[in-house]
Structure 1
Amino acid sequence: MSHSTQQGFTLIEWLIAIVIGLFLTAGIGSFLVASQRTTEATYHSEQMMDSGRIATHLITRDLKMVGFFGEYTGKPMVRGAGVTLVTSDIPSANDCLTDWVGATPEGSFPSAGGRFSPLFVGQVSNSNSLSGQYACVSSRSNLVLDSDVIGIKRVIGSPKLSAADLNSKRYYFAANSAQAELFTSSDPWPSEADMPGRQVWEYQHFVYYLDVSAQSGLPVLRKLYLHNDSGMQAINGPLVEGIERMRLLLGVDTDTSVDGVINEFIAASNVTPLQWSEGRVIGAKLYLLVRSLTEDQNYTNNNSYELGDVAVAAANDHYRRTLFESVIFFRNMVY
């Protein structure tokens, strides 16, 4: 009878197998960790890109059309000299006012004093204010310091064909090339006989600003709009979350003779009254600093971001950030 012999692994073979297994396990573990970090970084990047694109689109769309008032081109935006206010004025406590020194404060509607600003840009100071301007915004407690507030006046949408198309919560602007009226759905519809060739548009005053949400703790982009019942009213909820800083520089034609070419981008506070009155403000450059909504513990941000003339340093935290920049040319500015 023959006997077969069985042989197992030797100790050395076992040790070699264990070492190889440890190397494979370590490699797989490293791959999984790296994959998780890459996935997390990709998630944050995609979220920031989405937030930045949406916020940039919303603001630049309105900036491109700032000062657009339909057919009205023949006279200045002065109440009683081209523009007739058919509806009632908005109480100052419910409006967004620009308080010009030596002149009547200017609200959403053209004033009789001859000053009309289709565009307002102010920077929130350390005192959480706009130096007395736009109290509709500066009365809020969670504004993002050193960020800009942007006010835009224009008509929106498509021309209305009849009184049946009007919304009772909105204001409207009827105009031909020589005259204009501001009215609501409860006011008489302007007739073709009284205003030949007129078009009727919705009149709006939009205000963009940043604050920190009391609910989420995130910096968010918000918007006010003109409402017939309550004056300037905030849209419910934030427009976009994660917008950490907003800066708008104005493009100015500084040549001796106005040639319609931007020579430099400067802060709104540095634009002179003469440059405004001569129509030299013809564009803008928008900067948005976008922050991830959640922290990435595998990343420390110690970068500095240049928003035109302002540098914003990250606080060595774990939030990722991306800077968006867009150049806008004004098509319809009326001074």
Structure 2
Amino acid sequence: MSATANPCARMRHPARGFTLIELLISLAIGLVILAAGLSVFATSSRSSQLSEVETQMNEDGILALNLIQQQLKQAGFSQQLIPSNGATVMGNYAGPAVRGCDGGFVDAAAAFDQLSCVKGDGSDAIAIRYEATPDNTIPLLTDPTVATNCLGNSILPLTPTQVSPRPTPAAGTSLADHYTLADNRYLVIDAKTTPMLSCRGMEKRNTANIIGAPQPLLANVESMQILYGVASRPSAELAATYDPLLHQIVDYHEASDVDKLSETIEDRWGRVLSVRVCLLMRSDRPVRDAPEGGMTYKRCDNADETGTDGYLRRTYTTTVLLRNRLIAP
């Protein structure tokens, strides 16, 4: 009897696929995993971009403060000379170290004693003066003996010295009747919708010095607000007699209040012994997926403000003592 295949044997282990329910469950699990992965990626990407934007803004803010700090530390500097009659040591320049305006200068190219202020709110401006030398400025590569302004442009030594009587020069030497005066004006301008910290300064033009055109130093500086620490008396009054009870900072004022202290520019701005600068910085680009309600930040007056344009903002503050205006005992 020949053996025959049992047809039922082939049916005991039939080939099986996934059921519809199993496919749907697998698909749902896969979608959940994919969504979780995309969420983690998006969060990581936003955090990375936010960190990058914040880092750049912090670097810009610190750099902008350092630029102004460096200039304020020079404010009022003048090489000291001893008059021929042996009187108190004097310098070539004895005028105000700084002069400021709330809201900016009407004409930032005007003469120092003719600077007037814009009325209303806005970014402040400040003019900084000191005797410029190749040692406290960036000298020209073509002539390292020439002093320069805040933009690296040369300044002619055309300012008459204020020392009188003139010192007796050493044997074989002579004293110049003129010196180099730096007069740098810092302000915020909006260049093609990108706010910038800018400077314009005294510079050579043919055979004379003029206040040159403004040039940007650093972008994304949205506002500059300045307060001035004043003494009860101007520095010039205390130069001969040191009185620590009088020659100290008694209050901080806005520029408009400093201008009310006295009749003359030399008197009221000669009282300034320190400068407090606050810069409002803006990120170089909007933050991706910014909150719908905007991002809140502190202004220089410590009030809350909400920006709805997607940019990060933060204030950076420093106080600089005008060391060249301190009278030693």
Give the TM-score normalised by structure 2: 0.68
Letter in 1 for 2:125: V
Kindly provide the CA deviation profile for residues 104-150 of structure 1, in whole angstroms up to 9, marking residues without a partner as x: xxxxxx7xxxx93321111237xxx53x77548999xxxx9611111
Q: Deviations over 1:49-97 (max 9, x none)?
A: 121111100011101110001224879xxxxx985xxxxxxxxxxxxxx
Q: Give 2:67's aligned residue.
A: 58
Amino acid at match of 2:296: N
Distance of 2:171 and 2:74 partners within structure 1: 27
CA distance in structure 1 between the partners assigned to 2:158 and 2:69 by the alignment: 22
Mapped pair 1:153 → 2:145: no
Q: 1:46 to 1:73 in 2, by over 3 A?
A: farther
Partner of 1:118: 97
- Other structure's SS at 1:210 match: strand
Counterparts of residues 1-335 of structure 1 (less than 5 Å): 3=10, 5-72=14-81, 116-124=95-103, 130=106, 135=110, 146-154=122-130, 155-158=132-135, 165-167=144-146, 169-172=154-157, 178=163, 193-195=173-175, 203-214=181-192, 217-229=193-205, 231-234=210-213, 236=215, 238-254=216-232, 258=245, 260-271=247-258, 272-273=261-262, 277=267, 280-300=271-291, 301-303=294-296, 305-308=298-301, 311=303, 313-333=305-325
Mapped partners of 1:157, 1:180: distance in 2: 26
Q: Residue 281 of structure 2 aligns to a residue in which SS?
A: strand
Q: What is the letter of the counterpart of residue 253 of structure 1? A: A
Q: What is the aligned-residue RMSD (CA, Å)? A: 4.3
SS at 2:315 equivalent: strand
What's the offset of the Cα at 1:194?
Answer: 3.1
Deviation at 1:167, TM superposition (A): 3.7
Contact 2:101 2:124 in 1 (8 A): yes
Q: Mark the CA change 1:266 to 1:176 in structure 2 (over 3 Å): closer, same or farther.
A: closer
Structure 2 unpaired stretches of 5+: 85-89, 138-142, 148-153, 234-242
Please identify the structure whose Cα radius of gyration is greater: 2
Decide whether aligned partners of structure 1 residues 177 and 121 sit closer, same or farther in structure 2, where only a CA change above 3 A counts.
closer
Query: Identity across aligned pairs (percent)?
Result: 22
Cα displacement string for residues 178-208 of structure 1 (whole angstroms, at most 9, x for unaligned residues): 5699xxxxxxxx996333xx8x985311111
Q: Distance in 2 between matches of 1:293 and 1:253?
A: 39
**Structure 1: any 5+ residue segments left out of the alignment?**
76-80, 84-109, 182-189
Q: CA–CA distance in 2 between the matches of 1:226 and 1:254? A: 31
